[in-house]
Amino acid sequence: MNSVRALIVDDSAVMRKIVERSLRQAGIDLKQVFEAGNGAEALGVLNENAVDLILCDINMPVMDGMEFVKQLAGVTNAKGVPVVMITTEGSESHVVEALSNGARGYIRKPFTPDQVREQIIPILAGRP
């Protein structure tokens, strides 16, 4: 698998570090990691940078993860980029809403590196 440029979106800096570490523990070769504290910041990152994978929390201030995923449709650097939600919100309706908005995967907190691997490796394997 090629090395990956990842964007991690979470209002907790600690959680962003945990997600990054879990990606590495899952065997994903990270070439570059961008971080954002909410959806609006993440859109700003994407205006300046191309990424291969986006991991996004749902409950965040300013712009939440659901709105962020909706807005990705108009972002050139996000075209074809898989988004995986990582959140404490575990209801079926949240999963359905996230997937219908364009997310490719859904990981509930708390999670293990194995769960990250199971969700993300197949998604990355299918990218162009």
Partner 1 sequence: MSSSKTAPVTPENHSDWVPLLELAAREVFELMLSCHLTVPASAPDASLGITSMVGLAGQLCGVLSIRCDRKSATLMASKMLGVNPENVGPELSDALGEVCNMVAGNFKNKIPGLSEGCMLSPPTVITGNDYDLHPLADSAALQLWLLFEDSPIVISLQIHN
Q: Which of 20-45 are b and which e, b meaning 16 or more Cβ less than 10 Å from the residue's Cβ?
A: bebbeebebeeeebbbbbbbbbbbeb
User: Given the rule CB under 8 A, which of 27-35, 44-52, 90-98, 99-107 is the region that contacts partner 1?
Assistant: 90-98
Q: Does 13 bind partner 1 (CB under 8 A)?
A: yes
In the sheet that 105-108 helps form, which strands lie side by side, from edge to edge? 30-36, 4-9, 53-56, 83-87, 105-108
Q: Does 27 bind partner 1 (CB under 8 A)?
A: no
CB 38, min distance to partner 1, A: 12
Q: Does 12 bind partner 1 (CB under 8 A)?
A: yes
The CA distance from 28 to 13, in Å, is 20
Q: Does 49 bind partner 1 (CB under 8 A)?
A: no
Residue nearer to partner 1 on the CB measure, 30 or 75: 30
Among 47, 49, 112, 122, binds partner 1 (CB under 8 A): 112
Q: Does 52 bind partner 1 (CB under 8 A)?
A: no
Among the listed residues 66, 34, 39, 64, the one whose alpha carbon sits nearest the alpha carbon of residue 52: 34
In what helix (H) or strand (E) does residue 116 lie, and over which residues does it extend? Answer: helix 113-125
Q: Strand, helix or coil at 94?
A: helix
Among 5, 70, 109, 127, binds partner 1 (CB under 8 A): 109
Tell me which residues touch partner 1 (CB under 8 A).
11-15, 17-18, 21, 59, 61, 87-94, 108-112
